[in-house]
Amino acid sequence: MTVVKMPIVIICTFLWIGFVCAISFMEAWLKFRAPGINLPLGLGIGRIVFSALNKVEWVFALVIIINILWNSPDILKWQNLSFVVPIVLLLIQTFWLLPALDARAELHIQGLLVPPSYLHFYYVGMEVIKVAGLTIFGLTLFKNTTI
């Protein structure tokens, strides 16, 4: 029989990965292929969806942090520290990158000329690193199972 020490952390970690993959790697570009979706409409939808995703990510992050604090007497275990990378990236996205992308989207929606930017590439790169970090963190939780 396998006993999992922190099932809520494992569940939230892999749900978080699923949300990021579904939204950032699939919905983001597929919406522009739908009939009748022009750039301003797609950007408006994207702003709403990514704002919601960011809030969901914070819920997962807080649930994970609370459960680690509650269940792990030694918070500084290396496998818990691997969770720091996704949290740092989420902070950067929340307080810098998403507001910057939102401002650019608003300019596009208003029909103004927006200079080229690498912000979307930064976002995608951070999402890839975040998913990798969460995957490593989630897999280390399975190493802590007792049989």
> Domain residues of the chain, as ranges?
7-143
pLDDT digits (tens, 9 = 90+) for 128-138: 999 999 999 99
Instruction: Indicate if the alpha-carbon torsion angle 58, 21, 125, 80 is positive or negative.
Output: positive
**Tokens 């990021």 belong to residue:** 20
Phi, psi of 146 (to 5 degrees): -115, 135
pLDDT digits (tens, 9 = 90+) for 79-124: 677 899 999 999 999 999 999 999 999 999 999 999 999 999 999 9
pTM value is 0.91
| Single-letter code of the amino acid located at 118 | Y
